[in-house]
Amino acid sequence: MKMRTFMTVATLVSVATAIRAAYADTAVKPIAVGVAPSAYSLENGTWAVAPELLGYGYLHLDGAVFARLGARLGSRGWFTPDMPTALNIHEREVSFAGDFGLVHQGNVVPSLSLQLGLAHRWFDVTAMDIDRTMSKFGRSEWLPMISLQAGLGLPLSKRLLVEPFMRFETLVSDTRLGLRWGIEATLAL
Amino acid sequence: MVSKTNTLAALCIANMLTACVDIEPSVRPFTVEVLAFTGNDPTTGAGNYALRPVELPALLSVDPMYDSIFRFVEQPNIDLDALSKLADLDQVLTSVRSAATYVPRLRDLDGTLVPRDLMSLQTVSAYAAFRTAADAIPEVTGLPRSAIIPASGLQVWVKPVFTQGAATTRMETNAFYLPYTDSFGLLDSSSLERRPIGALGPVVTHEFGHHLFHRSFTQADGVCDEDAPGGNYPGRFASDRGIAGINEGFADWTAFVIAGATNSLIDAFEPEVGNPGERAIDVRFAYATKFTYQTLARCTGDYYCVGTLFARSLFEAFLARSGEPSDRQQRMAASRNVFAAMVAAPLHMRERTWPRPDKACAAELSTAVDDEVVSGFLGAFVAGLPASDRASVCERFIANFGDTGFKAEFRGACL
């Protein structure tokens, strides 16, 4: 039993070492995790920030081109416009998305990716002295989402990749298309 | 609902981004959840409100939002310099026409379209109130709707962007009406508001009242002609501070007639912003600030205070004639007489010779409220009322405006 465990660990370590060696001279690494804060415009024209966690796995395709598969856990709605005191609506959201992209290894690392995901949105409604017996305002919902993202990675060290990006996103049945601007910072493991 | 969402998701994925827009969320007639004014609280005088679905049979489209009368315009660029000159209004109107029609963010919940954000709630609630007001025109004025609604319809500017030279600003915390452009405006909300102003039925019908004033008094007064000699030139009274006050009072009266509201602003602001008691037209409520023309200093709202006295007088005269404020038919009957008198008032005012004011045809209002003009208006207004209403209105005008605001020599029609 101990021998089998030892062999398994040794195999994983050797595979990981081989992968690391294969990616030793590239700016991208096989696995990376990081954050991707982004800014988006609110209804009243002001801007809000949305936090996001992400993880990437890179797959070498050809030459300097890598496929990038990833997962994102994001949230937004924590910064809301100034609203009346006795009636306000806070639209909050947590989303999970899969990320399918291509990156080009070089001194800078341009990327293009498609994100498919699902957002859970809920509404915190304050309605003081207002009859809500017939209202459906507070009902939460699940919304499929699609985004297209373009970025330009800047390798700040062998492990740290900083990538400003622009994301064009839409949620099904929420007809307003949105543009986000953000910066990803990923650390190779 | 689940299967519909899945279908939309499949559509969206299949057609990528383009299929995700322009999804008509429901079929006509649209049922939309709005903030509805349901009447005044009999104890406090504040408004009662409900978030509830209403059917909007006249609404032709929500994505974008328009019907046969109203078009909601998305963030039009408005040049303030052009807006201040009647001659340049075409430039403003061209800018408004070229702006996109507003699309509220709505979600379809079991056939009811529910707003996703405050501005969307504000626009659909405002639409419901505007449309109610437009549909009531024959009852309110005694005229066909076509006499009040321009052939090109009415525009509602949503979050307009104002420019002056190189400066650009987006104002907030207000709703407004702009005569000669046949346009209303809804601005972004702020925490100075208690409830979103543009969503409040009493506020929206107040603004619609300004349109009725424009189509009655202002139109009968004429478009200002500064080349005409003397003090009786066309448009003589448009820029008078006292008449601006009467305009505000008439708008408050309209909010009462159409919505049954006795204070168009009580629900809009936090108590520390302004004094809602100054706008109460029913002084039987304890919160109402009591003042007369002689004690105008007790009211801080400048010429609006003159308007409040005018609206209070009409309301009190309505009560004196045994009118029941909750009876819509009685309110409408009273309104038709008031509207006819408002049309006739400038014509009666011209029966005397007026001195030329200091700011003839100016974009801004005259410096001070002119007691003579206020008195002249009240006398002319009474002259346009049917005999059955004159005694009750005269009694309240005299009580509220006294010998200064309703001078004895202008009371001929009261005798």
Q: What is the pLDDT of residue A153?
A: 95
Q: What is the pLDDT of residue A10?
A: 76
Q: In Å, what is the CA distance from A48 to each residue of A45, A79, A102, A181?
A: 10, 5, 28, 11
- Angstroms from B192 CA to nearest CA on chain A: 7
B215 pairs with which residues across the strands? none
Q: Are strands B30-40 and B47-56 parallel, antiparallel or unpaired?
A: antiparallel
Do residues B181 and B208 both lie within one domain?
A: no
Do residues B152 and B45 both lie within one domain?
A: yes
Q: In this predicted model, which residue has the larger pLDDT, B305 or A19?
A: B305
Do residues B307 and B186 both lie within one domain?
A: no
Tokens of B54: 């209403």
Helix (H, G, I), strand (E, B), or coil: what is residue B401? Answer: helix
Q: What is the pLDDT of residue A24?
A: 59
Q: Within a 13 Å sphere around the CA of B415, how many CA atoms are in the beta-carbon half?
A: 5
Distance from C-alpha of A162 to C-alpha of B63, rounded to nearest angstrom: 39
Sign of CA dihedral B43, B49, B55, B58: positive
- Give the B window 80-119 contacts with A, CB below 8 Å: 103, 105, 107-110, 112, 114-119
**Chain B hits for A117, Cβ within 8 Å:** none
ω before B64 within 30° of 0 (cis)? yes
Do residues B284 and B332 both lie within one domain?
A: yes
Q: What is the pLDDT of residue B15?
A: 42
Do residues B380 and B275 both lie within one domain?
A: yes
Q: What is the pLDDT of residue B22?
A: 42
Closest residue on chain A to B33 (Cα): A135
The ipTM value here is: 0.86
Q: What is the pLDDT of residue A47?
A: 87
Please judge whether B105 and A134 are an interchain contact, meaning their C-beta atoms are less than 8 angstroms apart. no
Element (H, E) at B314: helix B303-320
Distance from C-alpha of B51 to C-alpha of B39, rounded to nearest angstrom: 14
Do residues B157 and B287 both lie within one domain?
A: no
- Angstroms from A130 CA to nearest CA on chain B: 5
Q: What is the pLDDT of residue A16?
A: 60
- From B171, B199, B227, the end of a domain falls on B199
- From B199, B225, B241, the end of a domain falls on B199
Is this prediction's pTM over 0.90? no
Please judge whether B190 and A135 are an interchain contact, meaning their C-beta atoms are less than 8 angstroms apart. no
Do residues B220 and B251 both lie within one domain?
A: yes
Among candidates B25, B116, B195 on the partner chain, residue whose Cβ is nearest the Cβ of A87 = B195
**Chain A hits for B8, Cβ within 8 Å:** 144, 172-173
Distance from C-alpha of B355 to C-alpha of B376, rounded to nearest angstrom: 13
Q: Among candidates B335, B357, B337, B354, which has minimal Cα distance to B346?
A: B354
One pLDDT digit (tens) per residue for chain B, 415 residues: 334 444 444 444 434 443 344 445 557 899 999 999 999 998 888 999 999 999 999 999 998 999 999 999 999 988 888 887 777 788 888 888 889 999 999 999 999 999 999 999 999 999 999 999 999 999 999 999 999 999 999 999 999 998 888 888 888 888 999 988 999 999 999 999 999 999 999 999 999 999 999 999 999 999 988 888 889 999 999 889 999 999 999 999 999 999 999 999 899 988 778 788 999 999 999 999 999 999 999 999 999 999 999 999 999 999 999 999 999 999 999 999 999 999 999 999 999 999 988 778 888 888 889 999 999 999 999 999 999 999 999 999 999 999 999 999 999 999 8
- Angstroms from B40 CA to nearest CA on chain A: 13
Do residues B88 and B232 both lie within one domain?
A: no
- Angstroms from A91 CA to nearest CA on chain B: 7
Distance from C-alpha of B216 to C-alpha of B381, rounded to nearest angstrom: 12
Q: In Å, what is the CA distance from B250 to each residue of B14, B255, B256, B348?
A: 56, 9, 10, 18
- From B166, B182, B199, the end of a domain falls on B199
Q: Which domain holds residue B363?
A: 200-415
Please judge whether A82 and B191 are an interchain contact, meaning their C-beta atoms are less than 8 angstroms apart. yes
Do residues B7 and B150 both lie within one domain?
A: yes
Q: How many domains does chain B have?
A: 2
* Domain A27-188 bears CATH identifier 3.50.50.60: no
Q: In Å, what is the CA distance from A90 to each residue of A39, A69, B102?
A: 17, 33, 21
Do residues B269 and B233 both lie within one domain?
A: yes
Q: What is the pLDDT of residue B13?
A: 43
**Chain B hits for A131, Cβ within 8 Å:** 38, 48-52
Sign of CA dihedral B358, B307, B222, B342: negative
- Give the A window 151-170 contacts with B, CB below 8 Å: 168, 170
A127 touches chain B (CB under 8 A): yes
